[in-house]
Every structure is written in structure tokens, then in C-alpha cells.
Amino acid sequence: MFTNRTVYLNGTYVAWEEATVHIMCHSIGRGSAIFEVLSLHKTQKGPAIFRLSDHITRLFSSAELLDMELPLSEKDCIDAILSTVKRNSVDQGYIKIICYYPDISFEILPPRKKTAMSVFIIDPTDDLPAHDTFNEMGSSLCISTWAKLDPRTVPVGAKVAANYLNGMMARQEAAQRGFDFAIMLDMQGFIAEGGTESIFLIKNGTIMTPALGTVLDSITRKSILEASMVHGINYEEGRFSPELLYIADEIFLSGTPAKVLPVSRMEERHIENTPGPLTMKISSVMDDIVAGRDGRFIHWLFPVE
């Protein structure tokens, strides 16, 4: 369980229960923490982190958008992550980086620009016995009545804790209605994304996904598009009407925990033959990539050793 884990915390390594912060700190009171969640995979050459450099680049981009200063350089961040993985002896699971303001604060502005940093390693099998199990045969999806945050209100491209209240409300609504996941529309009524998932629709052999601007620049999303191009699969980025959800041949979601998650039910519409052929192909492509079996993408895997 978590109690056996070692955590990187501001230049030191501490036991899980010692990785704490005061409840009155700015990042709890104002939601100002930024974070990244990375996936760790078993490969023939040992454990490797999927697209580590891209995650670190996005972490620094989030910090810049919020005018934060991170306590480590990009190289030192990578070293801290690798060291934390090794200390925990986990070869498959998740890595979560959290950067936050630890100081007690009553004000809306943080008391300083420089943040603290922590790195957590999670083995879902050992640490999360009740974690979500993804249905490879298909999950259910609804359209949320909550709209996706407008980019004129907050930087939607930043992985900041406060932004995820939006996704939490959408997923909570979905659960209350008996669905697994919810898709949000943007403020103009076009398809955006789920609470923590990107969405892909397939029609006539072409993959369609919402363009950047109102959605997070998801690393898994980007990987699926780049891999599709190499494999000769047509794709299109754009602003799509929600009506497309009712006529798409196939639908799948993507994120760090589940690279490809088929959707078998969209509201009251049941999508036949889920997962569909193109969804299965993309799923197989991503499985080969994260396992290190596709040499064309081996540079996406950062070896721990």
C-alpha cells in the first residue's frame, strides 16, 4: 500500500505519511498546485517512462502560464523522478509530480513565486485495490450539462488543480445518471473533452478529435495522432458538433491510465461491434509502443536504469 512508498519532497526523500502540507497553504485554499501524471511501463529493456521529456516541458509551460517558478531545472526534475522510481522498485504504474505553494496564506495572490515540488510513485495493483477498472469492451458516455472552461477565463492549457473542478463536476453528473464518463462541450457548443480524457470519433475511416484551443494539449492525444500518421491512418482536428457523437462509427477516449478506452454507449445510443476495427488497431499500436516493441517510437520511452 501507499505506506510503503518513498516520496521525493523538496530535495529530500521521505516516507509517504511525511509528505504533508498545512491545510491553510495557498495551493489548498486557492487550488494553485500544478501537476503532471506520467505512465511507467514494463519493456524488454526494463521499466521506462512514457514521453518523460514532453511531460516535463508541459510542467514548465504550466508554471509559466501561472507565473510560477519551479525549484528545479528540467534536468534536475528528471533526475528526481528517476531516483524516486528506483527507490520504490516499481516497474509499472503512474508517476505524479505536484508543484505547490506550501506557505500559509489568506490572500488570493501567492506569497511567493517559487513553488515546492513532490514526486509520487503509484503501483495501481498494490496501492489502489479499488481503482477504476477500464472496460476494454466499452464504457458508457454522456454529454454533460457543465460546459468546458472557456480559455478566456483561465489558461485551459495548464494542468492546474483548480481547473479540474470542472471535470469533477462533469464526471459526478455522469455517475449520478448511470454513465461511466462525461464529455463536455465548449462555450460555443462544440465537442471539447472529458473530465480527464480526450475524445476521438471515427467516421468513414477517419479519426476526428477536437482541435487545441479549448482542450488540454494531452500527451496521449498527441501520441495517438502522431502514431496514426506513421501508420497511414487519416485524422482530422477541428471543431465538431455534438451531433457527430450520435452518428460516429466508433468512439474512444484516451488518457494516461488508459491510452485507448472504447465507448460502447453514447447517451441512449448503443454502438454496435465495440471496440470497432480502427479503435482496436490504434489500441494495438499504442500497446506496442509503450511495451517498446515498435522501434519507430522507442525514443518516446525513457529508461529508468
Residue extents of the structural domains in the chain? 2-127, 139-290
With pLDDT > 70 as the criterion, what percentage of the chain qualifies?
97
- Domain 2-127 class, CATH top level: alpha beta
pLDDT in tens, 25-77: 999 999 999 999 999 999 989 999 999 999 999 999 999 999 999 999 999 99
Distances, alpha carbon 120 to alpha carbons 4, 16, 29, 219, 260, in Å? 12, 9, 22, 19, 24
Cell of 11: 530535495
3-state helix, strand, coil in the chain (%, to 5): 30, 30, 40
Topology alike, domains 2-127 and 139-290: no
Q: Of 50, 95, 78, 43, which Cα lies nearest the Cα of 220?
A: 50
Q: What confidence category does residue 126 fall into, taking pLDDT thresholds of 50, 70 and 90?
A: confident
> pLDDT tens, 20-29?
999 999 999 9
Looking at domain 139-290, its CATH architecture is Alpha-Beta Barrel (3.20)
List 198's β-bridge partners, or say none: 254
CA distances from 193 to 97, 177, 245 (A): 23, 18, 12
Q: What is the pLDDT of residues 148-158, one digit of tens each?
A: 999 999 999 99
